[in-house]
Structure 1
């Protein structure tokens, strides 16, 4: 029986082993690092604050990697889910609530009260000057923390899933794109006095990249700006449908996207918390496609207004774009999308609010070759597959019936296949013919042919 179907039954499962001294030492280092970070935030002396920041980053990084190696790197390889519903950190207990409040509070301060982070921002000035040739700001601080989280928790994932070549390569991919394309490259562009551009984010996720104001600003920067506009349009309107046809939405959501990268690394401990109920799925469909429709209409209206065909429209659409940026770009994707990891799972934003996920999902469900095939005859109904699905898909129900999984929400992370002890689930990019045909039907057809 699935652990997610009945948390009370999970309490009967044996708890994980008690922490060993090395594990405790690593966690102590992380705790000391967080205290040093707090000291840097409130220390008015710049030199002392910078020293505290460097100590914090070293302690948190070293402690996280040491803990990950101790817990996942030394023992036998494989997906271990013991005690998930017994820990206060992963079962919506007190630690989870405190973590959620801290994350939510950080995003609120980052977006609307950045002055409170001034001391932390100034500690990164030397790094920012070296990379971008300009002083640090709140977004450089955020980008540094974000990238560090992906890299450190990516190291954890590499140890945890080292038995799976697919998971190793996929984790390395999101780490590479976050560090290279979403952090270093935009900084280097600023160093060469070029527009700060994120080549791994596309419309409608990075919604303003196809807004007339952004397009006009980029074009004025010369050849590189023109290429950026061309790249954004090509990736959004041409490459995305083509790549999704062949590989499903996983090529982006689980391999490239920074939002997905954070969810798959820092959010991995919370993936089992995603709601698998039909009610949650209904709200998912209502909200995410509404967001997609809104951003498509807003983009069209902005271009109509910019064309001058309807003079009064431009004055109306500008406030609408700001309202969208506040409600969706800040509150939903940041405050809720990450702050609610410990309470609702790691893909809250991807599942309920991301317009790129909705766009890719429509393509995947109706036009793609991608599917997850199942072999119902081999399924033992352990529920591991459903437990690890961060998108709220009750995978076990498909596996029991031997039906292929073709869902718009599936990001192709492959964790269901990785966690299956029987090899029941397989990610495939097969021909569209027979795409919806279950493996049991295929098996029956084979028997008829053999007889």
Structure 2
């Protein structure tokens, strides 16, 4: 007599697999590293705090990299989505909310109450003196943590996507630019008593780089380096960005160079499936990101008008708008919300809804670029892997099923949709602009042949 099986039993999700014993030891090292970091933040004795900080950084580094090697290096290579919506850490569960609150709280303290981080800041004085020739401050602490997160989680991504040459090179690129151009080079400039400058950030993302005050500061001593910095910022914003976007789409910056994108692609990788794919989310994206771009353009123009002295009454308005933008967009949106909400809304909240550079690049990509993702609808099996990994909220599967090329202003060209596809349906291309919005004749004929 056959045993009866209830419908609820059939529909019940598979239980979460137990963590292999080999992975528990490096995870324990990570936990001890976080505990040591807490000791460093609260220790009254400076020597003890510094020792705890170094122990914390060592344990976090060795634990994360060892765990990544065991987690992703031992099984066969490939993108897996197992149990993402069952784990409390990746399905907006209690762990995700706790992490979100902790990240948000850290950013609030960092921006507005740095005195509470004084113990941690002082532990990095020797490193800051070595690299920058001056004591550490809250931003050096943040830069150290930020860079470490990109490097460690970048190591995780290298193991996870080791089967994809594109992902390996792209991950290596964001790690290189974060470490070299966003951490070491600005510190070296300070050590040489030069202006601190980030060559991998441009206006309108680094909005103050083309403000009159910053330009005047860089040009003040008439040094060649300051002149080059102003020249570099202007050329990269208004000449190189359109040219590079024409040939490669916005991926050349958003997925290969930008530090915001670098953190999202590495530390934010476990949360990419949380990006809202609804049409309502897309409407909010349009309502927010383009007005923010318009806002910073307006602020920049008004500041230059005020600096020219042509309309003196503009000065208070321009300064007020500048401070408002810096607080609401530069601090609250890009920092507190942009990173603090990773575990709840996905890793590209800032890039998708708030970044003026992403809006600028997106307009160029949609209307002035050769970049596209081509699809072959005849080969699509509607597994949904592509949509699941899209951190920009694009329902890639809908395009793939119809065999339509994907040309969206939001797409950052990370290529994970192509990497995750088991059938090779999606391909990142820099093709001719002719027929850019139509599927190729080859794809169309293949679809007809398969359907017939």
TM-score (norm. length: structure 2): 0.95
Moved more, 103-112 or 13-22: 13-22
* Matched ranges for 1:40-189 at <5 A: 40-189=40-189
* Matched ranges for 1:220-239 at <5 A: 220-221=220-221, 222-239=223-240
Q: Matches of 2:75 and 2:174 in 1, distance apart? A: 25
For 1:37, the equivalent position in structure 2 comes to: 37
Residue pair 2:403, 2:444 contacting (<8 A) in 1 also: no
Residue pair 2:403, 2:443 contacting (<8 A) in 1 also: no
Q: Matches of 2:80 and 2:211 in 1, distance apart? A: 46
For 2:210, the equivalent position in structure 1 comes to: 210
Root-mean-square deviation (CA, aligned residues, Å) is 1.5
For 2:284, the equivalent position in structure 1 comes to: 283
In the alignment of these two chains, the number of paired residues is 439
* Matched ranges for 1:47-446 at <5 A: 47-221=47-221, 222-439=223-440, 443-444=444-445
Cα gap change, 1:441 to 1:74, in 2 (>3 Å): closer
For 2:4, the equivalent position in structure 1 comes to: none
- CA-CA distance at 1:114 after TM superposition: 0.1
Residue pair 1:404, 1:438 contacting (<8 A) in 2 also: yes
- CA-CA distance at 1:444 after TM superposition: 3.3
1:44-75 C-alpha deviation (Å, 9 max, x unpaired): 11000000000000111111111111101111
Residue pair 2:174, 2:259 contacting (<8 A) in 1 also: yes
- CA-CA distance at 1:25 after TM superposition: 1.0
- CA-CA distance at 1:18 after TM superposition: 1.9
Unmatched tracts of structure 2, length 5 or more: 1-7
3-state SS of paired residue (2:313): helix
Q: Matches of 1:282 and 1:118 in 2, distance apart? A: 42
Q: Matches of 1:268 and 1:398 in 2, distance apart? A: 23
3-state SS of paired residue (1:130): helix
Q: Matches of 2:441 and 2:317 in 1, distance apart? A: 56
Residue pair 1:13, 1:82 contacting (<8 A) in 2 also: no
Q: Matches of 2:366 and 2:199 in 1, distance apart? A: 26
3-state SS of paired residue (1:371): strand
Residue pair 1:375, 1:439 contacting (<8 A) in 2 also: no
- CA-CA distance at 1:438 after TM superposition: 1.4
3-state SS of paired residue (1:311): coil
Q: Matches of 1:442 and 1:56 in 2, distance apart? A: 53
Q: Matches of 2:446 and 2:143 in 1, distance apart? A: 54
Residue pair 1:275, 1:344 contacting (<8 A) in 2 also: yes
- CA-CA distance at 1:320 after TM superposition: 1.3
Q: Matches of 2:344 and 2:385 in 1, distance apart? A: 20
- CA-CA distance at 1:371 after TM superposition: 0.1
Moved more, 144-153 or 19-28: 19-28
Residue pair 1:375, 1:440 contacting (<8 A) in 2 also: no
3-state SS of paired residue (2:429): strand
For 1:3, the equivalent position in structure 2 comes to: none
Q: Matches of 1:65 and 1:211 in 2, distance apart? A: 41
- CA-CA distance at 1:348 after TM superposition: 0.2
For 1:5, the equivalent position in structure 2 comes to: none
- CA-CA distance at 1:21 after TM superposition: 1.4
Q: Matches of 1:232 and 1:74 in 2, distance apart? A: 45
Residue pair 1:89, 1:96 contacting (<8 A) in 2 also: yes
3-state SS of paired residue (2:374): strand
Cα gap change, 1:38 to 1:447, in 2 (>3 Å): closer
3-state SS of paired residue (2:230): helix
Cα gap change, 1:112 to 1:428, in 2 (>3 Å): same
Q: Matches of 2:400 and 2:444 in 1, distance apart? A: 15
TM-score (norm. length: structure 1): 0.95
Q: Matches of 1:199 and 1:301 in 2, distance apart? A: 25
Unmatched tracts of structure 1, length 5 or more: 1-7
1:71-128 C-alpha deviation (Å, 9 max, x unpaired): 0111110001000000000000000000000000000000000000000000000000
